[in-house]
A and B are shown apart, each in its own frame.
Chain A
Amino acid sequence: MGADAVFHVEGLRKSFGQNEVLGGISLDLFAGEVTVLMGANGAGKSTLVKIVSGVYARGGGTMRLAGKAFDPQTPAEAIRAGVVTVHQNINDGVVADLDVATNLTLDRLSGKGASLLFKPANVRAEARAVADRMGLGIDLKARVSDLSLADRQMVAIARAMAHRPKVLILDEPTSSLSSAEADRLFSLIDRLRGQGVAILYISHRMSDIRRLADRIVSMRDGVVSGVFDRKPLDYEGAVNAMLGRKIHLDKVVARSSARAVFTAEGLRLAQGSRPISITLGAGEVVAITGLVGVGKTALAETLFGVRRPLAGTMHMDGKPYAPGSAREAIAAGVFLVAKDRAASGIVGGFNIERNISLPFLKRMSGFGVMKKRAERIAARRQIDELGIVCRSEKDELSALSGGNQQKVMVARWMSQASRLFILDEPFQGVDISARRDIAAKLRASADGRATLIFVTELDEALETADRILVMSEHTIVGEHRNDDIDLDRLLAEVAGGPLHSAA
């Protein structure tokens, strides 16, 4: 099978320090085929892409391009050899302040043989040729900053294609596009496929994958966990291989709740999505799972008042609840441990104690003056309860491991009693023991409040929750009691299966 592959990767390895990220990846890409690469966060997709595109050096294994050894030392070398990558962040691929024509020919402005003078006529002629080959219907004189995201994406891809690559890697290209915009991208990809380019398409969106995939490769924990190339493609199998269950150690004894704390009726998160209705009871832990980009964070932010729903009402303890800001949500007893602690949780200049007290300064001060003793006591109690490994409450967060940093974030919001406790991807970048500690603490302290966690990894939901809801396309498509769960049905729902094939 590897014989006629344009691009052939064998036994690729990569470690960062002690941490092995890629444990021997083998992958084949064929001319005129779209190979979809699926994998949860931390599966090693981006590391793989960075090795292939020459950003990282590989730790072991071989790569061959069109039969010849391929060993790029820099991104520029990879591009010259014919492997071009369009990264997830669209604005990395274009220069916003220049016009489309200049962007399309940007790579010829530097490097060997580049002319010293900038000749606008030549640039436009070259850009025109590139645009025609791609069927790019964009005004070449337009400034990129005036274009829509989709158009910028097209320009970025067209710019990549100006090198006439053999292999094109697209890293989550639709993550910030609307579905109409994505359609334009798909027809462009169809065109490239027709021209015989081997395409590696990285995505979580099942609708993209159904539309484009000729083959699917699933990754999990740094190895290929499944290759699917027999038509019709086995989408559920691919999702299962990507998320699938590891050996299950902690079995949850599912509890059910009698008293509702939080209800939402007819909540709509996005244009054209079906409304969501949920009820969360006192003492239960509910997990909402689904692939990246299905609106989990949007729902979390809506409940926390940082985002307005398009329609629908919410109630807390029977009273109407329509928070206009995080402040109002906190006052109503709704707390959120936000996703991505580095960007939206940790205050870098603050030590553990100050990070924990941050939302509750008013409760820990008199006449505006901080009560440092109360602050210290609260911090020490939380360090104790969550088992945060540190020298003292005065430690800077940068001195802690990822798992302990996350514990501090959880501790922040557990230091005061809440009515609804929301955690968005609380186990991201967290080692297994910290994850167990946090999950155990969440379950042990769940009495009296409703707890809602948003996780992509199924294991995390199965290990933590009493009830599991499945999200797809900005709505909830399934509900399971975590008790002899029908995993096949759940995976089908995650994959946006037959239940939902219309979308």
Chain B
Amino acid sequence: MSSSLAGKATARERSMTLRAYAIRYGFIVLLVGLIAYFAVAADGFASPQSAVFIFQSVAITGVLALGVTATLVVGGFDLSIGSVATSAMMAASYAMVVLEQNAIVVVIACLVIGVIVGLINGWLIVYMRVPDLLATLGMMFLLLGLQRIPTEGRSIATGMTMPDGSVANGKFSEAFLALGRHRIDFFIPNLIPVSVVVLVVLAALIWFFLEYTRFGRMMYAVGSNERAAELAGAPVKAYKIWAYVISGVFASIGGILLAARLGRGDIASGNNLLLDAVAAALIGYAVLGAAKPNAFGTAVGAVFVGVLLQGLTMMNAPYYTQDFVKGAVLVVALVFTFALSGRGKR
């Protein structure tokens, strides 16, 4: 009797561990499988240039996704990241083309915009008690409108006509454009774009911050059980506001990279940034079975989407299928996270 019980228990344990392995490594295996498939099926996919292109295509959304991860960690959400990025892009363009400022001033101004938006978001959520989704949704609309006011809705480029009839003759500085266009030698000359370096550095930074510092640890505690964190002496409100500041700053860095890549302030660009970034962060929940927001997962999630789109493009899948594919990947990842791991509580 007891031996049969023991037998049952081990059988159950074995299936549990199999399932645990599936949850833990499922997504990584999927990613590796995908790369292997494209490497065989699509000519030129398995080349350094192709890999770099993938990274470059996800650099900006990746940076935004890392920022939104910080707000997810404290149990919040930031819908304003896309519009913070485009606002930063427009501000950078305006500062250079109209106000004729140099690259350093422009970068600082953009970062300040990120900090201010983050502080306002945090203030709305923590002190005005507006639910996070609604506060940042409001901020998103506000910024989408605000960024168009200085130029009366026009895109910004050198030689544009201002509302008062004058012509703006400022130029994007070379140093600034280099952020989006310069490529660093890495075994092969002119291989790695600066934006990819920025992505990798920021990913490493936020990963270290969340996993290894006491601040990151406490942010997870705040997200998991706010009252417990408060009773353990954490300044919960400050942590929440900081998370939104991180998110705002990362989004503004994304905006700087976008402006530097485009070389103009294009009001039509950046439409997909929010959804792509959020998708990457949520896919990240499933990576290594974390079932929680995490920087490594977010980075992998961003790369996953990039690999998929690059591969499909190289296999001549039409561009309009992209969003469908991204959505499908996100839904599968969410099922991994919430149903299979049985930890569907945030």
Contact = CB atoms under 8 A, between A and B. Distances in A.
B26 to A, nearest CB: 20
B221 A347 contact: yes
Residue of A338, A361, A370 most packed against chain B (CB within 10 A): A361
B233 A347 contact: no
Contacts of B231: 304, 306, 326, 336, 338, 344-345
Contacts of B167: none
A42 interface: no
A161 interface: no
B221 A326 contact: no
B230 interface: yes
Interface stretch (A50-58, A110-118, A348-356, A494-502): A348-356
- Label chain B's interface by main secondary structure: helix
A359 interface: yes
A279 B34 CA distance: 69
Contact of A369 (B213, B235, B292): B213
A121 interface: no
Contacts of B218: 358, 361
B228 A354 contact: no
Given A365-B213, A365-B214, A370-B217, A347 B228 contact: yes
Interface in A331-383: 331, 336, 338, 343-350, 354, 358-359, 361-362, 364-365, 368-370
A345 B232 CA distance: 8
A343 B228 CA distance: 7
Nearest to A345: B228
B27 interface: no
B227 interface: yes
B221 A358 contact: yes
Contact of A347 (B212, B213, B214, B224): B224
B220 A359 contact: no
Interface in B203-237: 212-215, 217-218, 220-221, 223-225, 227-235
Contacts of A331: 233
B233 A330 contact: yes
A343 B227 contact: yes
B233 A327 contact: yes
B129 interface: no
A33 to B, nearest CB: 41
A350 B233 contact: no
Contacts of B232: 326, 330, 358-359, 412
B214 A344 contact: no
Contact of B214 (A348, A370, A412): A370
Residue of B218, B232, B345 most packed against chain A (CB within 10 A): B232
A361 B214 contact: yes
Q: How large is the interface on B (under 10, 10 to 19, 20 to 34, 35 or more residues)?
A: 20 to 34
Interface residues of A, number: 29
Interface in A272-306: 304, 306
Given A326-B230, A361-B218, A347 B235 contact: no
B229 A358 contact: yes
A343 B214 CA distance: 22
A349 B220 contact: yes
Residue of B217, B228, B235 most packed against chain A (CB within 10 A): B228
B345 A348 contact: yes
Given A358-B221, A370-B217, A349 B229 contact: no
Given A358-B221, A361-B218, A370-B213, A344 B233 contact: no
B224 A350 contact: yes
A348 B221 CA distance: 8
A361 B292 contact: no
Contacts of A304: 231
B224 A362 contact: no
Contacts of B234: 327
A344 B220 CA distance: 15
A353 B221 CA distance: 13
A371 B263 CA distance: 45
Interface string A315-332: 000000000011101110
5 contacts: A336-B231, A338-B231, A346-B225, A350-B221, A362-B214
